Chain A
Amino acid sequence: YTIIIYLSYPIYLSIMRGVLSSIMASGQQWVLVEMVQAFYEAPAYHLILEGILILWIIRLLFSKTYKLHETYKLTENEKEDLIEEWQPEPLVPTLSKDHPSLSYDIVTGSPSHKIIINGKECINFASFNFLGLLDNERVKQKALSSLKKYGVGTCGPRGFYGTFDVHLELESRLANFMQTEEAIIYSYGFATIASAIPAYSKRGDIIFVDEAACFSIQKGLQASRSFIKYFKHNDMKDLERLLKEQDLEDQKNPRKARVTRKFIVVEGLFINTADICPLPELVKLKYKYKVRIFLEESMSFGVLGEHGRGVTEHFGVNIDDIDLISANMENAVATVGGFCCGRSFVIDHQRLSGQGYCFSASLPPMLAAAAIEALNIMEEDPGNRSFFNDCLNVALCLCDRIPGLRLEGEPFAPALHLQLEKSSGSREADMKLLRSIIDYCLNRNVALTLARYLEKEERFLPTPSIRVVVTVQQTEEEIQKAVSCIVEAASVLLQ
């Protein structure tokens, strides 16, 4: 087509020149009659050619530049063949028979201080039962009386007759306990932060996250479909670098910046590393760069701080400076479910936007009642805390001298990680080695567990480790026994 146009272009020009010159010749005035006359004067073939050219150009302008589907329209039979031919992958890949997660350890009876694993009674250093409330008689009684009043299930989501007076009471008790305006409860710990993040952060917003953030945070980030920027674990300089970069970006495009929400998401005590987040510095950065902070406190709620309010109390940070705190009630509180707390302005939004809140059946009332009683116990006995810190320190001193194993985490963290000092190079072999230590201890009545991760799903896969959970119920003696057991196992198996 273009060639034709190129060829005909001079002709076209000459015609136009002829027409124009005839018009110009008639003087400066533009007279319609003369123009028409010029047309008459022009040779007929010129006009015809010109007409065709104009039509051609119009056609070229309006026709599609390429036609994709014209080239391979399949016949029905070809389609049938394709359908016949297609073989999908199996629904799930076949597993190797000795996959470490294939056979779970079976716990008989209550997984409290004393636990029966695969038929062997052990001291529990594996369940997150920090405050020993799991088999607390008061908690049980409260749960039972609730069960006798409400039955087990709620048979509906919160909106449709699934809100019970117990839920309302628990929400106000949690808000009181944390000294925030409002709290909202979820029926599952994992779903709490995973629903809370996408309730606020939408496509186009920016979230700054610590690399060591736990899996439920990662799922929340994914569900939010926002831009995710990871900063190095607990590295405030790296975070500030990212914030500065973003700030520069914002100055370039202030209109966009005005509607782009920014969040920092961190854990109070990181479950994967047992480190504490540097909250005071985060708060400084928050006001400097106008970013909101979401804090996940599943490990620290009920553990850190004088009253067990978590990292904010531990650092003496004003709780109102944190936009949203979320925690599950499955660790220290020893029931099921999770909650978010903060100012009403923030929290109330989740009642219609939190997916795990709106669309899920509500928490069974008996579990909520158990949580209320657990809060009662935690409020009555803040002395718990000091004892707890002592306990942790003891654990730390002892844990420090295990040959071949390195202790990770803050001394006051209730769930510590023991990693291999020298990795064998392959993750699988490391896991096997650690598992053999655990089995050794299990045989000597000390229950420990491997920290489990989904290796392909984690954003930054943590190093393999044995998780040691300290609870208030463990006596000095038992801790000594456990430590000597681990030392023994390590010296036998790691040589």
Chain B
Amino acid sequence: MTESSVNKLLNGDSCRRTSNGLKTSKNGFVKNHCLLQQPHKYRRPRDKNPNVPHNPSLYKKPFVESFEETPLMVAVLTYMGYGILTIFGYLRDFLRQWNIEKRHIARERDEQKDFVPLYQDFENFYNRNLYIRIRDNWNRPVCSVPGPKMDLIERSTPNYNWTFEYTGRVLKDVLNLGSYNYLGFAENKGPCADAAIEATQAYGVGVGSTRCEMGNLDIHEELEQLVARFLGVESSMAFGMGFATNSMNIPALTGKGCLILSDELNHASLVLGARLSSSTIRVFKHNNMQSLEKLLRDAIVHGQPRTHRPWKKILIVVEGIYSMEGSIVRLPEIIALKKHYKAYLYLDEAHSIGALGPNGKGVVDYFGLDPKDVDIMMGTFTKSFGAAGGYIGGKKELIDYLRCHSHSAVYATSMSPPVAQQIITSMKIIMGEDGTTLGADRLRQLHENTTYFRRKLHDMGLIIYGNEDSPVIPMMLYMPAKIGAFGRQMLKKNIGIVGVGFPATPIIESRARFCVSAAHTREMLNTVTRTKFPRIQSNYSPIQRALTEE
């Protein structure tokens, strides 16, 4: 019964949208000269659903994403919650100033009291009065493999999270729904670990030089050839840190007089890379193709600001799966736009590589597109491969250019050999080159787990965001205090989850995030849903409730 209601909702949803899209296609395309159909003018301006497939023809299968609007009552309560927290924050700051309440925060050295303050006290208001109160939910120390179950070191605090003490006890077998271990390659046994052990014995752990100088090991070359083969691109290059792959390579690709069009929810590393490149940056609404197309048209028509010279090049920067929203990039539409407007596309597959697609090759594979249509394929090895670092794949000219001009290649130490080996082995397993179906099994398992868990949560009537195929599942909590309460309650039930709040999310959209892994069993996922999710009653979806009552 519940299943049918899910379908009803989803179908009903997409029906409404498709008809919406079809209507516009009649005149929108011709009249506006836009490649993609424009939304109706009378649509609500702040629709929580920019993710409407306006161009169903571009998709080979249904593309269903849901971002249910925040219920009004909840929004009001959340703002009130922030209000109360702020008032109490000021009160406590006042008490601290007059030394009525003890200050736990580290102080400036006496000799340097007359220096300009290193950071403004006010800047830290949020940290001091909001974050600290619930910070026991983050940085929980792990002391085992971050696999489907992990061991956590127990912490206690004598002063409401200002300082932590280790009790010496270990919380055994906490169910791990926080690590990005999509394919379950975070293992200390098995072929990957064995290969990494061998690599450590053969190479040691360090390299002590850069790729350009004396740090280009044969294992790196092997890795890069494998990555290129895996992605289906001509050539690839691997880097020692995922974050730096973005922030140190975008500046090599664009510069002054270039335009970067960046999704508003892009990761900090992409934002940093764009800034360091000294190109002009314009931001489009999350996954909103109309917004992107408008920016593209305006950019080409009007050229650079003030000088009105044409842009040298335009780079669209998007991610595969957005880790805070669980949404998947609308790649078919972006590729259509990119081709029409002659822009270049930088796709960051940090979360999607390995986790999406029938062969685990990321969003390109998921949509059944040609990897050659994406100019720069970037991704990380941290998540699905259980290693560290990042890669860039693309045409041979691109990679050759990066080999000479990437900041990382010239100035940063190359990747540690055991890490490289872990990637090689896990990637071969995913590709089935080890002669087993282990990789295919994991991919299937991940997909099953994702669908199952998403459906379960949905059936419970919770508001969850994102695409139905995304293994990142944000569940809305809205109120900041609930992040703390929910995280602690779940830990009591031996389940480790991640809570995310402002500034990583919009201020009223605090959420809990589940990352499903292929290593999770059905039983484990059932344990989670069986907890009934204490203390989050108000987050049940009104739409869902109405449907079930029906």
Contact = CB atoms under 8 A, between A and B. Distances in A.
A187 B206 contact: no
A109 B198 CA distance: 12
Given A88-B342, A144-B197, A95 B400 contact: yes
Contacts of B434: none
B201 A106 contact: no
A105 B214 contact: yes
Nearest to A457: B407
B96 interface: no
Interface in B105-126: 106-109, 111-112, 114-120
Contacts of A457: 251, 407
Nearest to B143: A165
A161 B142 contact: yes
A361 B380 CA distance: 10
Given A88-B313, A190-B408, A154 B388 contact: yes
A10 interface: no
B14 to A, nearest CB: 31
B410 A79 contact: no
B344 interface: yes
Interface string B68-88: 000000000000000000000
Contact of A155 (B181, B241, B343): B181
Interface stretch (B145-153, B359-367, B451-459, B536-544): B145-153
A56 interface: no
A144 B200 contact: yes
A168 B143 CA distance: 11
A336 B407 contact: no
A143 B187 contact: no
A243 B312 CA distance: 40
Nearest to B278: A222
A107 interface: yes
B117 to A, nearest CB: 8
Interface residues of B, number: 122
Interface in B226-264: 240-244, 247-248, 251, 253
B311 interface: yes
A378 to B, nearest CB: 14
A187 B140 contact: no
Contact of A89 (B197, B312, B409, B422): B312
Contact of B106 (A86, A94, A168, A344): A344
A361 B382 contact: yes
Given A101-B410, A161-B176, A200-B118, A147 B241 contact: no
Nearest to A329: B206
Interface in B175-229: 176, 178-181, 185-188, 192-193, 196-197, 200-218, 221
Given A126-B213, A361-B242, A139 B204 contact: yes
B7 to A, nearest CB: 33
Given A147-B188, A165-B153, A188-B241, A106 B268 contact: no
Interface in A91-139: 91-95, 99, 101-102, 104-112, 115, 117, 124, 126-129, 133-136, 139
B404 A102 contact: yes
Nearest to A351: B139
Contacts of A200: 118-119
9 contacts: A93-B401, A110-B202, A156-B382, A160-B138, A164-B141, A168-B141, A215-B411, A216-B411, A352-B131
Interface of A: 74, 76-77, 79-80, 82-83, 86-89, 91-95, 99, 101-102, 104-112, 115, 117, 124, 126-129, 133-136, 139-140, 143-144, 147-156, 158-165, 167-168, 181, 187-191, 200, 214-216, 219, 222-223, 257-262, 287, 290, 292, 320, 323, 328, 330-331, 333-336, 343-346, 348-349, 352-353, 355-356, 358-361, 363-364, 366-367, 370, 447, 449-454, 457, 467
Given A144-B200, A165-B142, A366-B200, 13 more contacts: A86-B300, A88-B312, A102-B404, A126-B213, A147-B197, A151-B186, A162-B142, A343-B106, A356-B244, A359-B267, A359-B269, A367-B416, A453-B410
Interface of B: 32-33, 106-109, 111-112, 114-120, 127, 131, 138-147, 150, 153, 176, 178-181, 185-188, 192-193, 196-197, 200-218, 221, 240-244, 247-248, 251, 253, 267-269, 272, 275-276, 297, 300-301, 310-314, 341-344, 375-376, 380-383, 385-388, 397-398, 400-405, 407-413, 415-419, 422, 496, 498
Report the 3 A-B pairs with minimum CB-CB distance, sorted nearest first. A188-B241, A360-B243, A127-B208
